Amino acid sequence: MTTKQERIEIRTDLFNRVKRAVIKVGTGVLTHDQKPAASVITHLARQISWLMDEGRQVILVSSGAIGLGVIKVGLRERPTDIPHKQAAAAAGQPSLMHAYEKAFGRYRKKVAQVLLTRDDLCNRRRHLNARNTLNVLLDWGVLPIVNENDTVVVNELKFGDNDNLAAMITHLMDAQMLVNLTDIDGFYDKDPHVHKDASLVPLISRIDRTVEQTACDIPGALGTGGMSSKVQTAKKVTSSGIPMVIASGLKPNILKSLFQGKDVGTLFLPGRQKMTCRKCWIAFTLKEKGAIRVDRGAARAICKQGRSLLPIGIIDVDGEFREGDMVGCLDLDGTAFAKGLVNYKASDIRKVMGLKTSQIRKRLGHKYYDEVIHRDNLVITLDETEDPLCQ
Ligand code: GLU
């Protein structure tokens, strides 16, 4: 347990280091009683402008297109099927940007709209293009406002929700903090809508199973992701060495309070491992296309010595994937411990598994690489504290 004073010190230190932050705002903050919450948007604009004037770079990830579209078109409730959601987003996105442009205009700040799909971020070239564009906007002092390009994505290509999109943008832009603004004060030890005695947890140093289980789904009236999705986002962000906060976007001056180190919302402490942007892309943006099961020796060599995965350590291959795809690495018990980009397709790996690298050419008729996954393309995903290989 930490004291309030200790938490203030931790927060002050972390927030002082933030030169670039991603701020995510949920639909529950931007709409109220089936109306756009104009005063909240203005208040957010004032606080974000204050951060920008302090010399910090901010990228805003904003939901609200579907919510505002529902209101604009006059639908009685948020649609559940994809074409209606997409149409609502198409109607609502200009309203959202109009509201931001007007609100930020008051503080003489310019905004830009950036609509992305998961496909864009999975493709390495488009991923880098998106980063270059965002960097230019930040250099110009223009606030990028990012949302999913809802009208063109189908379920399997979706980010899932904007919590996940915000994590990917945090990694893409190498930000030092993700602030997730929602319509409740933070992470509670029980569902605060049901239990009167639920209390806010101010600091989480490790996202273990209890935290994940407690993060019961409590979606906002017009939003998509609940607490569970926010905790999964925190897991991705903190495991790459970046802190995240969940706080209420409806609380006056919440951003100012956070950046002044005040003990508000829930702070998820960063893990010790700082991952490069490329490794984050492999681990958190790409979709897993299959899995490779390895023996104990290979799992150890990868986790403890940072080695590449060679055919000799492979005992099984799941799925049909191609060269360059991202796959999970599983140990003998089926525990996923790493992710990486494969140099060979699944059917070729099945042919060479268990063999020495010197036998690859003979078996396949060609050999492009010694490694099935090169260590530069491998990311360990197991938290040290839950790593059986450490014991
Ligand atoms: N892209 C959706 C919207 O703007 C939001 C998805 C989400 O809230 O997670 O409405």
pLDDT at 160 over 80: no
Helix/strand/coil for 187: coil
Atom of ligand 1 nearest to the CA of 69: 10
For residue 222, the CA-to-ligand 1 centroid distance in Å is 9
Is 248 found in the same domain as 332? no
- Ligand 1 mutation pick, 162, 165, 183, 232, max ligand atoms within 8 A of CB: 162
Q: State the pLDDT confidence band at 138, using cuts at 50, 70 and 90.
A: very high
Let me know: does 74 contact 95? Beta carbons within 8 Å: no
Residue 217 above 60 pLDDT?
A: no
Cβ 138 vs Cβ 144: under 8 Å: yes
Residues in the chain: 391
Cα 96 from Cα 36, distance rounded (Å): 9
Check if 27 has its Cβ closer than 6 Å to any atom of ligand 1: yes
Neighbouring CB atoms inside 10 A of 379's CB total: 23
| Boundary-marking domain end, from 251, 279, 307 | 279
Q: Which amino acid is at 154?
A: V
Q: What is the pLDDT of residues 75-85, one digit of tens each?
A: 998 898 889 99
Q: How far is the CA of 148 from the centre of ligand 1 (A)?
A: 7
Alpha helices in the chain (DSSP H): 4-16, 27-30, 38-53, 65-73, 82-105, 118-122, 124-140, 162-172, 209-214, 227-239, 254-259, 277-280, 296-305, 346-352, 360-364
pLDDT at 156 over 50: yes
Same domain? For 218 and 325 the reply is: no
User: d(Cα 134, Cα 90) in Å, to the nearest integer?
Assistant: 22
Average pLDDT over residues 270-285: 90
- Comparing CA positions, the residue from 249, 238, 329 lying closest to residue 292 is 329
Is the same domain home to 275 and 293? no
**Residue 224 CB–ligand 1 contact under 6 Å:** yes
Eight-state DSSP code of residue 284: I
Residue 61 Cα to ligand 1 midpoint, Å, equals 10
User: CA dist 266 to 175, 208, 229, 244, 312, Å?
Assistant: 19, 15, 15, 8, 45
pLDDT digits (tens, 9 = 90+) for 294-332: 999 999 999 999 999 999 999 999 999 999 999 999 999
> Do 275 and 292 lie in a common domain?
no
Total domains in the chain come to 2
- The mean per-residue pLDDT over the stretch 181-194 comes to 89
Taking each helix axis from N to C end, the angle separating 227-239 and 162-172, rounded to the nearest 10 degrees, works out to: 10
Mind listing the pLDDT tens digit for each residue in 228-239?
A: 889 999 999 999
Backbone angles phi, psi at 267, to 5 degrees: -100, 130
Q: Which pLDDT belongs to residue 215?
A: 84
The residue from 230, 260, 279 where one domain ends is: 279
Q: Over 50: is that where the pLDDT of 220 sits?
A: no
Final residue of a structural domain among 279, 314, 333: 279
Tell the residue nearest (CA) to atom 5 of ligand 1. Answer: 63
Separation of CA 131 and ligand 1 centre (Å) = 21
Contacts of 37 (CB under 8 A, 6+ apart): 29, 30, 31
Query: Are residue 204 and residue 302 in the same domain, yes or no?
Result: no
The yes-or-no verdict on residue 243 having pLDDT over 90 is: yes
Tell me how far the alpha carbon of residue 108 lies from the centroid of ligand 1, in angstroms.
27
At residue 204, the pLDDT reads 97
CA 373 and chain centroid, separation: 24
pLDDT greater than 80 at residue 389: no
Query: What ligand 1 atom has the least distance to the C-alpha of 165?
Result: 9
Across all residues in the chain, what is the average pLDDT?
92
Q: What distance in angstroms lies between residue 27's CA and the mean position of ligand 1's atoms?
A: 7
Q: How far is the CA of 305 from the centre of ligand 1 (A)?
A: 41
Percent of the chain whose pLDDT exceeds 90: 78
Q: Is 28's C-beta closer than 6 angstroms to any atom of ligand 1?
A: no
Ligand 1 contact via 183 beta carbon (within 6 Å): no
Cross-strand bridge partners of residue 314: 294
The answer to whether residues 147 and 117 touch, using CB atoms and an 8 Å cutoff, is: no
Q: What's the confidence (pLDDT) of residue 221? A: 39
pLDDT of residue 386: 57
CATH code: domain of residue 92: 3.40.1160.10
64 and 195 both lie in a single domain: yes
The string of pLDDT tens digits covering residues 23-68 is 999 998 998 877 889 999 999 999 999 999 999 999 999 999 999 9
pLDDT bin (cut points 50, 70, 90) of residue 224 is: low
Same domain, 178 and 292: no
CA distances from 49 to 106, 116, 143 (A): 10, 24, 9
Token digits for 113? 């709209």
Widest distance between CA atoms in the chain: 70
Q: How confident is residue 153, by pLDDT bands cut at 50, 70 and 90?
A: confident
Q: Which amino acid is at 190?
A: K
Residue 222 and residue 316 in one domain = no
Tell me the residue range of the domain where 85 lies.
4-279
Q: Residues 181, 231: one domain?
A: yes
Measured CA distances, 54 to 58, 70, 141, 173 (Å) = 11, 36, 12, 19
Q: Is 148 in the pocket of ligand 1 (CB under 6 A)?
A: yes
Q: Which atom of ligand 1 is nearest to the CA of 67?
A: 10
Residues 198 and 331 in one domain: no
Bridge partner residues of 338 (DSSP): 329, 380
Both tokens assigned to 366: 């060609």
Question: What is the model's pLDDT at position 216?
Answer: 65
More confidently predicted of 208 and 179: 179
- Reported as a pLDDT band with limits 50, 70 and 90, residue 390 is very low
